[in-house]
Amino acid sequence: MTSYPGLHIEYLEADPRLQALCLRYWRVDGATGRFAETVARIYREENLSQSEFTALVRRHSRAWSTVMKCSRCAEPLLFGTRTDFISRREDRPFRCQACAATEQQQVDIAKRLRIVQSFEQAMAEGRPLSALRPRHCLYLLALLKYAGSEDLSHIRPYCQVRHERLTPLREVDRDLINELWRAGVIAVDPASDAAAIELDREQNARVHFNEVRWHPVVQGLGGVALHERLEAHVAQPAFLRRCLDEVRECCEQLALQECLAFLEMALAEYRLGYRAGDKTCAMIKAALQVFSVAQVCNVLYRAARDAAAFYQRGGVSRDHAAKTVVGSFERLMEKTLANEWVVAPFRRNFNLQQSVLSRLIYNRVLGTDDGGFTERNDVLLGRLVAAPSQ
């Protein structure tokens, strides 16, 4: 064993030659506090490659700090290389790997306990299917179709599903999941990854929405039985008649989201980023009172093309060019209405397929083939509601 200021060297081999070699690597100049020799000089003089020399030192010696010790068990800090020694921070508390693992295990247990408590409370307060809001029935069924496990016992983490869309916009997906959670329709599954859960100073759990598993909370129902009951519930003609206002609201939201998603995609094709605000949403909502989503997408595409042409002429930033899409869309709509032009409907873009929620509402509940894209919602719903009485 050899000691230097701040460093204690332990030899794992009795061979004097190997000990001397390891000593040259770890030797510190007492006057300067720096290593006495460079690594390159040592391995060249010993006719070794750098990797061979480093592996040899690691295999036959260990270097410990004489100053830094674990604040929990007093185990000294082990240096693997010179870099570890040079980059040490003696002013910071140190935890050895074993103690850090023990502390993390204790934190994970505390997280799990908080989630189990919240889960048990949510299950105790669960309501029967008949007491859920119609929109929550639709949202829950869509979420089960989108991310339900194979046995439908739980809902997989959102980050693990990327083959299709829950709603037309990713940010709306989060709002949908959050609404179900706040309403007590779903709860964080206790089997969620502990890394997806954090504890604040008051030991309250905070979850990462994208990474936790979810569990449906419906009194007396779960798994396949819940899925089947939801399917039957929303497919009844009486569901549409009784819940028409909420279904209409969902349809209007989907139509707006479809247009915003298309605008985002159209601008992205020209490498123009844009985040729609209240003004853009208000204009699109007004357009949807007159045209279908497919027709509004036609006008939006032309507005995006005009913004791209404006940028290509030069003298403006991408951000400024993208913001002109709102004014361009407004002018095109005004001309279209004033001249009573016929707006050709766009076909659905392959890169913007119908979302799971849209398929559930328009295809399953309303019995159309993507009807919300090709027809105005008021026309579609008016025809379907009037049909049974004819």
Please tell me the predicted confidence (pLDDT) of residue 238: 87
Distance separating alpha carbons of residues 274 and 265, to the nearest angstrom? 10
Q: Are 132 and 217 in contact (CB under 8 A)?
A: no
Please tell me the predicted confidence (pLDDT) of residue 84: 78
Nearest in space to 301 (alpha carbons), one of 323, 332, 336, 337: 332
Please tell me the predicted confidence (pLDDT) of residue 5: 62
Q: Are 279 and 326 in contact (CB under 8 A)?
A: yes
Strands 76-79 and 61-69: antiparallel
Question: Token pair of 257, please?
Answer: 């989201």
Question: 113-172, pLDDT tens digit by residue?
Answer: 888 988 999 999 999 999 999 999 999 999 999 999 999 999 999 999 988 999 999 999
Question: Residue range 350-356: average pLDDT?
Answer: 92
Question: 229-282, pLDDT tens digit by residue?
Answer: 999 999 998 898 889 999 999 999 999 999 999 999 999 998 988 888 999 999
Please tell me the predicted confidence (pLDDT) of residue 329: 93
Ranking 194-203, 277-286, 304-313, 374-383 by mean pLDDT, the lowest is 194-203
User: How far is the CA of 7 from the CAs of 2, 3, 226, 341, in angstroms?
Assistant: 8, 6, 64, 84
Question: Token pair of 183, please?
Answer: 């309403």
Please tell me the predicted confidence (pLDDT) of residue 209: 80
Please tell me the predicted confidence (pLDDT) of residue 390: 42
For residue 359, name the pLDDT band (cuts at 50, 70, 90).
Answer: very high
Please tell me the predicted confidence (pLDDT) of residue 30: 74
Percent over 90 (pLDDT), the chain: 51
Question: Residue range 98-112: average pLDDT?
Answer: 84
Q: Are 247 and 259 in contact (CB under 8 A)?
A: no
Helix or strand or coil: residue 17? helix
Please tell me the predicted confidence (pLDDT) of residue 251: 96
Whether the per-residue pLDDT at 27 is higher than 50: the answer is yes
Distance separating alpha carbons of residues 384 and 22, to the nearest angstrom? 85
Q: What is the 3-state secondary structure (H, E, C) of 191-241?
A: CCCHHHEEECCCCCEEECCCCCCEEECECCECHHHHHHHHHHHHHCHHHHH
* 245 Cβ contact list (under 8 Å, min separation 6): none
**Mean pLDDT for the chain overall:** 88
Question: 43-73, pLDDT tens digit by residue?
Answer: 898 888 988 888 888 888 888 888 788 888 8
Whether the per-residue pLDDT at 92 is higher than 80: the answer is no
